[in-house]
Structure 1
Amino acid sequence: MKRHPSSHSKAAAAALLILALGSPAQSALALEGQAQPPAAAQAKAAAMNFDAEVDAFLAAYWAMFPDAAVAAGRYAEAARLPAPTEARRQQQLKFAEQWLTRLARVAAAPGLTPAQAGDLLLLDNHLRALRWSLTELRSERWDASEYNVADPFAQLLNKPDFAPLPKRLQLIDQRLRQVPAYYKAALANLHEPSPVHLRLAIEQNSGALSLFREDIPKAIKEAALKPAAAAEMAGHNAKAQRAVEAYIAALEQIEKKQQADGSGRSFRLGKALFEQKFDYEIQASVDAPTLFQRALAEKETLLQRMSGYADELWPQLFANEAVPADRLDKIARVIDKLSSRHVAPERFVEDIKAQIPALEKWVVEHDLLTLDPSRPLVVRETPSYMRGVAGASISAPGLMDPKGVTYYNVDPLDKYTPEQAESFLREYNHWVLQVLNIHEAVPGHYVQLLYSNKSPSKVKALFGNGAMVEGWAVYAERMMMESGWGSVNGKPSAEMGLMYAKWNLRVVSNAILDYSVHVLGMSEAEAMNLLQREAFQSNTEAAEKWHRAQVSSTQLSSYFTGFSEILALREQLKAKQGKDFKLKAFHEEFLSHGSAPVRMVQRLMLEKAQKQ
């Protein structure tokens, strides 16, 4: 989450009181008067102290960052919408410094388990990343898309299990009153905004207007509020809507000026900021330049594999034609021929829905993972305020929302011309659409995030690592292919092999593109050549990926990083355990560590294996 708006509250004060008085465990030991408790008692006291500190941190964190609390499933926090002022930035900096100092004392205490030490490392990294973002990255000054109030409103509107509608409308009303001040401060923050982020902010906030024009008025009517209360809330909603409209209009004026005079900050982070952000967000065993070189090498490996599949398929697809001498041309011809097999545009979302049960059945029958049938997956069109970054995504409930619904968001194709829709569907053809559903749904993101929320570590679930999350989804694709998914009559399918390799090439190209754009200054023409000619992506897909590389940074590197580290860990454990290695046991133990960085999970799993 990029934005963390909030303010201090009674919860934060309570956390500071705990610091002053000492934890319950410390107090208990002092009362016992024991100079040196037995080892078991000391371990128990350390665990109690650690748990108390984590709870105190979380109470203070939710108070400071209510949108993060909403993402975790604490929906009552959605009522608070602090304006992103300079004073607030200073509050957040102070919060980070105070908790870095406090958690360092916890880390120095004896008796922590390896899992607890890992939790502290995650919190330390999170707070250092926050401090760096507030002092070095300063994206609040140039990324206008950071300012969007929509999601917590949508969460409250769509959570009947949280509270009855009248109660939820009370929280919505409180939030509505703060919208004008929020956008006033947001506009004041922007200094020479990036044009590409400016355009994204205009589009996403325009998408958010439907909440104020349609959804909230509809909810007010359905709740049958007393006329005076309904009128008052409608007035607050109208003011909030005007504030969003005014923000959009102001951004459009800035955009018009930028187009006239060529001003505006570059979207590129540059080497120093990108590599620092990579270290904080990816938390890999390698740095960004090393990952880039590994991606280049893996690209060549995949092209060789794809060339072999193309040779195998060429005779049946082009019986009377000579094989092109150019390897890329040969592969492209075969892919182009196969890609004509795809779903009809009007069936795109429905076909995705229909495939989920087949994936679930496969996972169970092949004993790959234990699934939870009580937590269904809902496929839906991506809400308009979320569009413009990725065409498919997962919205999973937070740790504090155990009954929440997981949504598989799919962008509808109505934004495309018929030619663009055909280009898109050729990209997500019969074979690739299956891999996409594995990645996003089963056994990818949907399954991993359910496991994460069941982790015994709240920290590893709440402050998860994006490279682990994306890496698991890519690894899930490999898992399914290795188990035989996509085979024909029990034999590996060359068509699926080629398209799966193409998808893997996309993962690798993401990392190459990410580093090349933000560090090496790759141009749009160079990016399109990489994506279309060298990675065989359709024009529509390549254009959207170029846009994504501009409005995001380091996230595109997370797929290849996490996948390669998970696969390496699996092979390490296979070599160590030999015939005792069990694939399902590996998967479930790996997922039991929440969404911790792979290198942290690797250490914990290898240490456990060493003791066995």
Structure 2
Amino acid sequence: MNKTALTLAVAAALTLAGCSSTNTSTETAAKPVAHAAQNQAFSTFSEKFIEDLWRQYPEFSQYAGYGKYDDIITIPNAATRASNIQFSKDKLAKLYSFNVDSLSGNQKTDYYLIENSLKKTIWNTEKFKGWQWNPSTYNVSYGFANILNSRFKSESEKFKTVLERLKYVPEYYAAAQQNIDTPTIEYTQLAIAQNEGAFAVLKDDLLDEVDASEVLTAQEKALFKTRFANAKTAINGYIAFLTQLEKDLTENGNARSFRIGEELYEEKFAFDIQSGYTAKKMYEKALADKARVTNEMVKLTDQLWPKYFPDTQRPANDTQAISELIKHLSQKHVAKEDFVTEIKRQIPLLEQFVIEKDLITLDPEKPLVVRETPEYMRGFAMASISSPGPYDSKENTYYNVEPLELRTEEQANSILREYNHWILQILNIHEAVPGHYTQLVYANKSPSLVKSILRNGAMIEGWAVYTERMMLEEGYGDHEPEMWLMYYKWNLRVICNTILDYGIQVKGISRDEGLDLLMNGAFQERAEAEGKWRRATLSQVQLTSYYSGYREIYDLREKQKEKLGKDFDLKAFHEEFLSFGSAPVKYINQLMND
């Protein structure tokens, strides 16, 4: 699923992802001028905002592929936080000089995206304070990996940029240690594991490459070795600090709870999802949809039961019958050692189907590379997408898959049953074609750089979930009832993501209750359910983005079909929808109906 581990780490560190406020502050706006002049003035403001944003957040600029500030690591201390807040307040004051009602539809969307990213920065820093209790916020691996893996930097640029960045690492981790105050056990454990993964990026082999390089002087090579050693010492020091902290917190029971409570949850939901519903209302909608989808699964079970169990009477209990059928079908899966290979094999087949059905235009020049998830990104999701930013849109998009060889036999078999013959195909639709990979290629072409950069996670996840159903509706899988049963199982998992997340963070459900919901309510394998529980303790609200985004996109499509009748064209709908970048669905809805 997207919102990749990488994307989440960036969002946590920079507190700039997700936008939801609707405050236009027209009372404080300057006297409105002619619309054309306002539009031009706002375009100028937007361009300068992005340039200033990169100077303020150099790491964020790197993930967007800007490149100009790749040699900088921001020290996460009190001075930086104060500077970030002041930056947000200054930009909000300038934003509020515009009368939002005089802007074009596209610019109104950008206005709200900018406003909410700035307001969320202030909220994150002053109220949510994840920088205090989430040690996994601090990790230098991502930036170094981006540089070393870049296809568009020369060897000289790579080594010299890494050399410059290395000097910041000791001070970076010293500030991180100063920030940490009563963290959660779960985030502390994640931080230890992911920072240990840093040595898969800053590995000793890199020194051999530097030694053999002809682009660095002898003095630069010596400096590189010194800074490299100091960086490793700093990372090891942070790991040791967290290891001791975890031990202390476990023994004294003073760790912060991973549950954030209703007030913070509602506020974070409003910033991140921007759906037009409260978190509580979305939770209630999910409960209703869970009942509806389960009913569809009952119908399919009635249809399939005689085929697979001709000599066995169907259990009277619907949940038991569905579960038994799913468990039987789930035995059909690839071998453990073929898991990644099979994913690679399926991508061209999905592309072929999309082209034959003329569902959306694919760009053959935007490569998708299936790879094992890098070590510094593991432990969060089985599959994810790492996409290039708008400035380096020709870079590879990576489809990250956690290798099963690292799991026990029992864990691997459970995962394989979960990602069985049918669901593995749905996963690839979601992550790759025409899901995340396709949408993010389009997002990088958006005429609005603001929408490409300050992207809305619910729209991104919602699109991927929408494409799963759309592909089956268009005949992928030959309308096989087994495929539809597994799709509903998968869709039920999306719905239960929302129920689980709200249940954990607001209602305080126990681990056993959460696993019961996922295993008996959503028919998931234990390994998958345990992984989702862990993920839910390491994030808040993000798990709701799949369902809320999907629901809004699907409803928009159905309204467009009703409105246009025989003139409705599915491909045209898809390409127009994606042309607005990764904006919240409610704003895309407005733009498509403007």
Report the equivalent of 2:350. 359
Q: What do residues 584-606 of structure 1 show as CA deviations (whole Å, max 9, x unaligned)?
A: 11000000000000000011112
AA aligned to 1:371 is L
Report the equivalent of 2:132. 141
Does 1:535 find its partner at 2:526? no
- Equivalences for 1:198-217 in 2 at 5 Å? 198-214=188-204, 216-217=206-207
Report the equivalent of 2:504. 517
Q: What do residues 24-60 of structure 1 show as CA deviations (whole Å, max 9, x unaligned)?
A: xxxxxxxxxxxx99xxxx5554333222111111111
How far 1:318 sits from its partner (Å)? 1.4
Report the equivalent of 2:164. 174
Contact 2:446/2:581 (CA < 8 Å) preserved in 1? yes
Flag the 1:335–1:459 CA change in 2: closer, same or farther, 3 A.
Answer: same
Does 1:439 find its partner at 2:448? no
TM-score (norm. length: structure 1)? 0.91
- Equivalences for 1:19-418 in 2 at 5 Å? 44-108=36-100, 111-161=102-152, 163-214=153-204, 216-224=206-214, 225-418=216-409
SS for the counterpart of 1:537 is coil
How far 1:230 sits from its partner (Å)? 1.0
How far 1:556 sits from its partner (Å)? 0.3
How far 1:218 sits from its partner (Å)? 4.4
Contact 2:330/2:417 (CA < 8 Å) preserved in 1? yes
How far 1:315 sits from its partner (Å)? 1.1
Flag the 1:217–1:5 CA change in 2: closer, same or farther, 3 A.
Answer: farther
AA aligned to 1:183 is Y
How far 1:557 sits from its partner (Å)? 0.1
C-alpha distance in 2 between matches for 1:215 and 1:5: 31
Q: What do residues 264-299 of structure 1 show as CA deviations (whole Å, max 9, x unaligned)?
A: 100111100011000001011211001000000000
How far 1:402 sits from its partner (Å)? 2.6
How far 1:79 sits from its partner (Å)? 1.1
SS for the counterpart of 1:519 is helix
SS for the counterpart of 1:106 is coil
C-alpha distance in 2 between matches for 1:483 and 1:278: 33
C-alpha distance in 1 between matches for 2:409 and 2:44: 58
SS for the counterpart of 1:574 is helix
Report the equivalent of 2:482. 495
SS for the counterpart of 2:427 is helix
C-alpha distance in 1 between matches for 2:489 and 2:79: 49
How far 1:190 sits from its partner (Å)? 0.6
Higher relative contact order (CA closer than 8 Å, sequence separation 6+): 2
How far 1:220 sits from its partner (Å)? 1.5
Report the equivalent of 1:18. none
C-alpha distance in 1 between matches for 2:493 and 2:204: 39
How far 1:537 sits from its partner (Å)? 0.5
SS for the counterpart of 1:467 is helix
Report the equivalent of 1:595. 582
Does 1:563 find its partner at 2:550? yes
Percent identical? 45
How far 1:216 sits from its partner (Å)? 3.2
In our comparison, the structure showing a higher alpha carbon Rg is: 1
SS for the counterpart of 1:216 is helix
How far 1:519 sits from its partner (Å)? 0.4
Q: What do residues 481-515 of structure 1 show as CA deviations (whole Å, max 9, x unaligned)?
A: 0110011xxxx211101000000000001010010
C-alpha distance in 1 between matches for 2:59 and 2:450: 17
Contact 1:5/1:66 (CA < 8 Å) preserved in 2? no
Contact 1:306/1:331 (CA < 8 Å) preserved in 2? yes
C-alpha distance in 2 between matches for 1:392 and 1:288: 26
Q: What do residues 361-407 of structure 1 show as CA deviations (whole Å, max 9, x unaligned)?
A: 10011010001011121000111111111110101100111311101
Unaligned ranges ≥5, structure 2: 1-9, 16-31
Contact 1:4/1:66 (CA < 8 Å) preserved in 2? no
Aligned with residue 577 of structure 1, among 564, 568, 575: 564
Q: What do residues 174-217 of structure 1 show as CA deviations (whole Å, max 9, x unaligned)?
A: 11000000000001101101000000000000011222223532
Flag the 1:219–1:598 CA change in 2: closer, same or farther, 3 A.
Answer: farther
C-alpha distance in 2 between matches for 1:468 and 1:160: 29
Report the equivalent of 1:11. none
SS for the counterpart of 2:371 is strand
How far 1:321 sits from its partner (Å)? 1.3
C-alpha distance in 2 between matches for 1:466 and 1:5: 15
How far 1:107 sits from its partner (Å)? 3.8
How far 1:2 sits from its partner (Å)? 2.8
C-alpha distance in 1 between matches for 2:277 and 2:449: 26
How far 1:159 sits from its partner (Å)? 1.2
How far 1:5 sits from its partner (Å)? 6.2
C-alpha distance in 1 between matches for 2:69 and 2:517: 44
SS for the counterpart of 1:379 is strand
Unaligned ranges ≥5, structure 1: 7-35, 608-612
Contact 1:3/1:67 (CA < 8 Å) preserved in 2? no
User: How many equivalent pairs are there?
Assistant: 569
Report the equivalent of 1:452. 443
Aligned with residue 421 of structure 1, among 390, 408, 412: 412
C-alpha distance in 1 between matches for 2:260 and 2:213: 47
C-alpha distance in 2 between matches for 1:294 and 1:394: 28
Contact 2:151/2:395 (CA < 8 Å) preserved in 1? no
AA aligned to 1:507 is V
How far 1:414 sits from its partner (Å)? 2.0
How far 1:103 sits from its partner (Å)? 0.7
AA aligned to 1:188 is Q
Q: What do residues 290-314 of structure 1 show as CA deviations (whole Å, max 9, x unaligned)?
A: 1000000000111111111111111
Contact 1:464/1:595 (CA < 8 Å) preserved in 2? yes
SS for the counterpart of 1:266 is coil
C-alpha distance in 2 between matches for 1:49 and 1:576: 35
Does 1:2 find its partner at 2:11? yes
Contact 1:309/1:498 (CA < 8 Å) preserved in 2? yes
Flag the 1:218–1:508 CA change in 2: closer, same or farther, 3 A.
Answer: farther
SS for the counterpart of 1:212 is coil
AA aligned to 1:588 is E
